[in-house]
Amino acid sequence: MTKKELIDCIASDAKISKANATDALASFIDNISGALGKGESVTLVGFGTFSVSNRAARTGRNPKTGAPIQIKASKVPRFKAGKSLKDSINK
């Protein structure tokens, strides 16, 4: 499903215009991104939890030359699916 298809579904299900559905989706994404940027987690009961995880520095390989390279430590977004979401997939 693409973003456009998701907007169409939201507009249809909520009986709102596509412009309002686009604004709602943009707000959802912005608020989750903002919370993660502050290091907070976002929990949607039954759906899942968005959080930030620290990835340690590590040694990798340059795929072209095979030479070892140092990869810096970083923060990465994580998503852990909730029970209801898992159950809906495993029907």
Which domains does the chain carry? Answer: 3-89 (4.10.520.10)
Q: Evaluate if residue 40 carries a pLDDT over 90.
A: yes
Average pLDDT on 27-33 reads 97
Residue 90: predicted pLDDT: 84
- Which residue's structure tokens are 């604004």? 23
Structure token pair of residue 58: 């590590």
Residue 51 has pLDDT above 80, yes or no: yes
Nearest C-alpha neighbor of 57 from the set 67, 70, 76, 39: 70
Q: Taking the alpha carbons of 81, 82, 88, 91 in that order, is the dihedral positive or negative?
A: positive
Q: How many CB atoms sit inside 10 A of residue 21's CB? A: 19
**Would the pLDDT of 75 be above 80?**
yes
- Which whole number is the average pLDDT over 42-66? 95
Residue type at 22? T
Q: What's the confidence (pLDDT) of residue 1?
A: 95
Quote the tokens at residue 27: 């707000």
Q: Give 52's pLDDT tier (boundaries 50, 70, 90).
A: very high
